[in-house]
Chain A
């Protein structure tokens, strides 16, 4: 107990570079969890992770059904890669996952960003990725507070008890 409190986590800066449902949720759950604990929180979305902060795509994220050996069907049987590639499979599985999460009271992506912002967490987009994918500022969720460079990200990530997490 005392050991745990000797060096508390005071700030987390989480990088989300992938746009699959599970990668985005890893970042969002950790970010929101930190906010709820009163830990200063930065979320930095880059590369395909940008999908999570683009209003058009953020609430329709998919999980890959091909090449994921841990992908199982309800009942426990593995989903063979060949079947995972069938048209509509990814869409259907992703929809089922989103529904399952909603039933557990896990917020959707845009709602999660709103909750994180409400708790004082900061959400950033990577400038390089924005330029690369030709994303416009108006494509981004309203809670994205800024488009920043990696240098600016490190500046914000500093301080005692700070941690950087790459999901």
Chain B
């Protein structure tokens, strides 16, 4: 277990940098994690982060297919918004655990 300080707040993260307590997350914190990941957050990003957090809070599994059906962005845009490993990166910025889904 490790701690990191974002936007003046100390948060609990695991060894990969994912939040262990999603309730510690704030939009300001998200901006700083995003900067670490090389992503600049737009309104669309925040809409997506909110979608991911809602999904997590209601206990639904995250999948790339779910993103496509979210109605927020299509998958192509999603890949462009969080380049590299989009689902891993976006969940890290959203302050929720790394998704365990294979699809």
Contact = CB atoms under 8 A, between A and B. Distances in A.
Nearest to B84: A38
Interface string B1-43: 0000000000000010000000000000000000000000000
Interface size for chain B: under 10, 10 to 19, 20 to 34, or 35 or more residues? 20 to 34
B65 A111 contact: yes
A97 interface: no
B103 A105 contact: yes
A32 B84 contact: no
Question: Most chain-A CB neighbours within 10 Å: which of B65, B76, B84, B101?
Answer: B65
A64 interface: no
A38 B75 contact: no
A119 B103 contact: no
Interface in A98-131: 104-107, 111, 114-115, 118-120
Interface residues of A, number: 17
Contacts of A114: 75
Contact of A105 (B63, B83, B85, B88): B63
Contact of A119 (B15, B61, B65, B79): B79
Most B CB contacts (10 A, CB to CB) among A32, A38, A104 go to A38
Contacts of A115: 64-65, 68, 75
B74 interface: yes
Contacts of A36: 64, 85-88
Contacts of A1: 15
A161 interface: no
A89 interface: no
A10 to B, nearest CB: 12
Nearest to B87: A36
A105 B66 contact: yes
15 contacts: A1-B15, A29-B102, A29-B103, A33-B103, A36-B85, A37-B85, A38-B83, A105-B66, A105-B101, A106-B103, A115-B64, A118-B68, A118-B75, A118-B76, A119-B86
Interface of A: 1, 29, 32-33, 36-38, 104-107, 111, 114-115, 118-120
Given A37-B88, A105-B61, 8 more contacts: A29-B102, A32-B103, A104-B103, A105-B65, A106-B103, A115-B64, A118-B68, A119-B79
